[in-house]
């Protein structure tokens, strides 16, 4: 009986030993594969993090450049709005002086000479503004462009209402009653027509400046 048990044990031991060796080798292989896989995952993760950091840095640079460009563009628009507004007011002041029904001429000038000077002052300011407006129109929105176009149209009509009477008088052709009345009342059109348009332009300018 004892012999039988020994024989059985001796016959089983190689199998058990082989199984243990197989299990050991299998676990070592699994461990080696897992270790390589973990290293690969870590390498991929590191590469991904590095690439993500690079992309974020590029995006930050692009955003900073865009913000700088927007800031400079906004700054430029502020400068242009200031120039346009000042030129608009200078032109209007010269028109009001020219069409005013009450004028106080300098002692060294005749009335005609003084009127010619006022005409020239307005004409020069008008041309200065039109040049400025044309050059910088690209920086203005459509609403402001429409308002300024309307302003110029109405202002020129007021100017011509006064100038026509002056021109005909200088030419020796007596203006009719309607022409004279339009000239003498031209100054009233400024608060009636020009001022409301100018107020709209000012509001549009303020809206841009407050953004």
Count H helices and E strands in the chain, helices first.
6, 0
Q: What angle do CA 195, 137, 122 make, to 5 degrees?
A: 50
Res 6 pLDDT > 90:
no
Rg (CA), the chain: 45
Res 15 pLDDT > 70:
no
Q: How many residues would you count in the chain? A: 211
Q: Please compute the mean of the pLDDT values over residues 1-23 and round it to a whole number.
A: 61
- What pLDDT is stored for residue 67 in this prediction? 45
For residues 34 and 32, what is the distance between their CA atoms, to the nearest angstrom? 5
Q: Which residue has the tokens 């290293």?
A: 39
- What pLDDT is stored for residue 124 in this prediction? 96
DSSP 21: H
- What pLDDT is stored for residue 68 in this prediction? 41
pTM: 0.65
- What pLDDT is stored for residue 70 in this prediction? 47
């Amino acid at each position: 009986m004892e012999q039988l048990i020994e024989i059985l044990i001796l016959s089983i031991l190689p199998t058990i030993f082989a199984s243990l060796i197989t299990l050991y080798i299998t676990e070592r292989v699994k461990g080696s594969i897992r270790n390589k896989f973990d290293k690969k995952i870590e390498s991929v993760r590191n590469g991904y993090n590095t690439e993500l950091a690079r992309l974020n840095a590029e995006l930050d640079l692009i955003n900073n450049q865009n913000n700088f460009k927007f800031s400079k563009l906004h700054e430029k628009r502020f400068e242009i709005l200031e120039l346009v507004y000042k030129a608009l007011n200078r032109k209007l002041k010269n028109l009001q002086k020219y069409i005013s029904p009450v004028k106080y001429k300098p002692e060294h000038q005749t009335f005609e000479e003084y009127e010619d000077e006022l005409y020239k002052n307005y004409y020069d300011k008008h041309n200065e503004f039109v040049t400025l407006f044309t050059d910088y129109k690209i920086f203005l929105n459509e609403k402001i462009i429409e308002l300024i176009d309307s302003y110029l149209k109405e202002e020129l009509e007021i100017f011509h209402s006064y100038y026509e009477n002056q021109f005909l008088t200088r030419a020796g052709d007596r203006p009719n009653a309607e022409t004279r009345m339009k000239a003498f009342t031209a100054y009233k059109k400024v608060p009636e027509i020009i001022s409301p348009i100018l107020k709209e332009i000012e509001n549009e300018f303020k809206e841009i400046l407050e953004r």
